[in-house]
Amino acid sequence: MYGPRVRECSRLSRRAVLGLTAAALPLSTATSAAAATVVGGERLARAGVQVRGATGLPKKLTAHSWLVADCESGEVLASFDAHRRLAPASTLKMLFADTVLKKFDRAERYRVTDADLADIPAGSSLVGIKPGLTYTVEQLWQGVFLRSGNDAVHVLSHMNGGIAKTVAEMQAKAADLQALDTHVVSPDGFDHKGQLSSAYDLTLFARHGLKDPGFRAYCGTRTADFPAGGKKTFQIQNTDRLLTGAWGLKTYDGLIGVKNGYTSHAGNTFTGAATRGGRTLLVTVMHPDAGGNAVYEHTAALLDWGFTHGRSAQPVGLLVEPLSEGGASATPAPTPKTVQAAAGVPGSASGGSAWRIAEGAAGALALLGAGAWTLRRRRARTAGAPAADGAEPRGGHRR
C-alpha cells in the first residue's frame, strides 16, 4: 500500500525492565525502604550522561535531555537525563499517530465542519484545512506529519469521537507502551500546563510507530499536494530539516523521519531515525539551549556517534516492549480509571535522582513490601522557557 515494505524494528523477548532502585516512603514511615522498578533500567534513572564501553560523544551538547538507541534491539547506547519530564511540543503527535492512525482507512473521505476547527489553540501551526472542504484521511495525516498541523490533528480527533476521548486513549496508549513520564493534556502537543513527556518516552513512541508502514511512509514524506478547494492544490513540505535540507541544513544520509516540534515554552524537540549499513538508530533531543538548527545538529551528531563510536557501546538501558505485546511489568495491566488517576498529577521540578510517589496502578512501577501498589512519578527539574528564535517557518506558528 505504501510501496516496498522496509524491515520493521523487531520485538525483544528479554525482560523489559532491567534494574531496581530505592524509592523513599512518606516521612511517617521514613525508616522503611522499598525497591521500585525502573522502566528501561536503573542507569536511565540517573542524572547526567550514561555511556559504557565507548568514547567520542559529541562535545557541546546543550540539550536538557537526549537519548541514542538501537531501533531493532531496543538497547539504549547512551543518554543524558533520559527520564527528565519536559514539554514535548509536537513530538507528542507521534503518540497521537500511534493511537489513532490505524482506526481509519487512508482512502476514507471526511467533510470538515466549523466545529472540527473551533477548539484549535491560538498560535497553532496549521496546514490550512478549511471548513466545507472534503479531505481524505491520507491528506489529513500528511497535514499532521509534514506541516505538524494542529488543524489536521483536531479534525482527526473529532473523527475519533472528540478531543477528550482522544486524550484518554492517548494516555492509555502511553501506559501500554510503558511511557510513564508522559502526561497528555491535548492531542496536538501544544503548550498546556502539565503536558509532559521525556526523551525516553518519545523514543518509545517513535520506535512503536515505525513498525507501522503507514506511519513510516508519512514521516518520511518530503512534499505533498494539499487540497485548496475545487481542483486547486498547494504544496506542503515536511518541517523536518534533516529530511528536507531546509534553513541551510544538510540532509542526513539514511534519515527515515521521524518528528520535530517547537513551541515558545518547550523550545525545540526532535526525534529522528536513520539507517546505515543495515542498522537503524533512534535519537531524541529535547530543549537545546540554542534555537535555530541546534536540535537537528545535536541529532545528526548523536546519530554519527551511534554509527561509529557507538558500535562498541555496551547498553545502559533498554526500550521496553508494550504490555499488550508481552512486555514485562511489575504491576497488573492498567485500567482506564487508573490511567486517568495516574495521569492527573504531573511531576514537579527537582533533580534527576528525586522521585514522587502517587497512588495508582497505571504507572507500572510498584513499591514492594508496603502492602499496596503505589505509583512512583518522576520529578523533573523545571524546564526553562527559551524564547522563539524567529527562524521557525510559518511566521512564528508553534509546532
> What is the reported pLDDT for 328?
78
Query: At residue 104, what is the residue type?
Result: F
Which H or E run includes 165?
helix 163-176
Question: 348 catalytic, yes or no?
Answer: no
Q: For residues 390 and 110, give the distance between their C-alpha atoms in angstroms, rounded to a whole number.
A: 35
Q: How far is CA 160 from the centre of its chain?
A: 21
Where in the chain are the domains?
19-378
Q: DSSP strand E in 201-289: where? A: 223-229, 232-237, 255-263, 267-276, 279-286
Q: Report the C-alpha gap between 195 and 303 in whole angstroms.
A: 27
Please count the other Cβ atoms lying within 10 Å of the Cβ belonging to residue 339: 22
Say which of 79, 90, 124, 186 is annotated catalytic: 90
Specify whether the CB–CB gap between 139 and 151 falls below 8 A: no
Domain 19-378, what architecture? 3-Layer(aba) Sandwich (3.40)
pLDDT of residue 364: 34
**pTM (2 decimals)?**
0.78
What is the Cα–Cα distance from 337 to 358, expressed in whole angstroms?
14
CB 316 within 8 A of CB 346: no
The answer to whether the beta carbons of residues 193 and 76 sit under 8 Å apart is no
**Cβ distance 330 to 19 under 8 Å?**
no
Please list the pLDDT of the chain residue by residue as tens digits (399 residues). Answer: 444 333 444 433 333 333 323 232 232 222 222 223 589 999 999 999 999 999 999 999 999 999 999 999 999 999 999 999 999 999 999 999 999 999 999 999 999 999 999 999 999 999 999 999 999 999 999 999 999 999 999 999 999 999 999 999 999 999 999 999 999 999 999 999 999 999 999 999 999 999 999 999 999 999 999 999 999 999 999 999 999 999 999 999 999 999 999 998 889 999 999 999 999 999 999 999 988 899 999 999 999 999 999 999 999 999 999 999 988 764 434 434 433 443 443 333 333 322 222 323 333 333 222 222 223 333 333 333 332 322 233 333 345
Q: Which three cell numbers stand for residue 85?
A: 519530564
pLDDT of residue 38: 80
Q: Which of 131, 20, 9 is nearest to 74 (CA)?
A: 9
Closest listed residue to residue 310, CA positions, set 319, 298, 321, 301: 301
Q: Are 67 and 61 in contact (CB under 8 A)?
A: no
User: Of 148, 186, 197, 198, which one is the catalytic site residue?
Assistant: 148
pLDDT at 291: 86
pLDDT in the model for residue 265: 81
Amino acid at 67: L
Q: Point out the catalytic residue in the list 65, 79, 93, 157.
A: 93
Are the C-beta atoms of 321 and 9 separated by less than 8 Å?
Answer: no
Tell me phi and psi for residue 358, to 5 degrees: -140, 150
* 98 strand-pairing partners: none
Q: Is 93 a catalytic residue?
A: yes
Cell (9 digits) for 172: 492509555
Look up residue 132 and give its DSSP letter: T
The label of the residue with cell 525502604 reads: 33
CB 281 within 8 A of CB 303: yes
Tell the residue number behind the cell numbers 499496596, with chain if given.
372
Is 148 a known active-site residue?
Answer: yes
Amino acid at 396: G
Report CA Rg, the chain.
20
Looking at residue 57, its amino acid is L
| pLDDT of 347 | 37
Q: Which cell numbers hold the place of 329?
A: 511489568
- Reading the block at residue 303, the C-alpha cell is 546519530
Nearby residues of 250 by Cβ (< 8 Å), 6 or more positions away = none
- What's residue 219's pLDDT? 98
Tell me how far apart the alpha carbons of residues 125 and 37 are, in angstroms, rounded to a whole number: 39
Beta-strand ranges (E) seen in the chain are 19-24, 33-38, 49-51, 65-70, 75-80, 109-111, 134-136, 223-229, 232-237, 255-263, 267-276, 279-286, 317-318, 355-358, 375-378
CA–CA separation, 82 and 6 (whole Å): 28
The H or E element containing residue 335 is none
C-alpha cell at 300: 545528526
